[in-house]
A and B are shown apart, each in its own frame.
Chain A
């Protein structure tokens, strides 16, 4: 699975959009980009995933660059409850039981 690079931390103002970058320059053509988050010490929660097209759901938007070497997770209107560690993961979909390899993630602090 391709390695990802994320900033270790970032702050965001409540009500503003939070843009979380992720670099995955060694991504292969059949690898998906997944985003999970972990609030405090709870179990991680799935947010969104994509292959090459931009994706949007009720939680967030995922923008993947045309060369697929980087992506951005967008939380459109950050709330205090979005304070969490966000993990960007790249893997081949369906390979060996869908197991995920977590890196260090980005610690996001949403401030009032």
Chain B
């Protein structure tokens, strides 16, 4: 059982380049999330999707777009990468029950030069 799978695990970009982080879950969860974690800091929510076809902004959505492709997949796109977006990105998923725990992927480490 793979759980939550993120690709790529590592990426280096130049300022202004674009890229998409991919996330897939095989637990049939309705909700999916994208977080970022800067060095020495806690996680901050970028976007989330409570169900297929819906997306909502989190704490730090500027500079990002998301797409809930289907129930399994939730992608995060950086249209014009900036050095401030250098971070570790985590995808998570959960059931849509009141106390559903979040399951996290292993993270994608992005460096923007």
Contacts and interface: CB of A to CB of B under 8 A. Distances in A.
B107 A41 contact: yes
Nearest to B6: A43
A2 interface: no
B103 to A, nearest CB: 8
Interface size of B as a range: 20 to 34
Interface residues of A, number: 23
A13 to B, nearest CB: 25
A44 B43 CA distance: 9
B100 interface: yes
Contacts of B31: 97-99
Contact of B96 (A36, A41, A44, A97): A97
Interface stretch (B10-18, B44-52, B78-86): B44-52
Contacts of A49: 99, 101
Interface string A26-65: 0000001010100001111110010000000000000000
B73 to A, nearest CB: 16
Given A41-B107, A44-B102, A102-B44, 12 more contacts: A34-B101, A36-B102, A41-B88, A43-B90, A44-B43, A49-B99, A93-B98, A98-B98, A98-B100, A103-B42, A104-B41, A104-B42
Interface of B: 4, 31, 33, 35, 41-45, 48-50, 56, 58-59, 88, 90, 92, 94, 96-107
Which 7 pairs across A and B sit closest by C-beta, in order of nearness? A43-B104, A97-B50, A94-B98, A93-B98, A46-B101, A102-B42, A102-B43
Interface of A: 32, 34, 36, 41-46, 49, 87, 93-94, 96-105
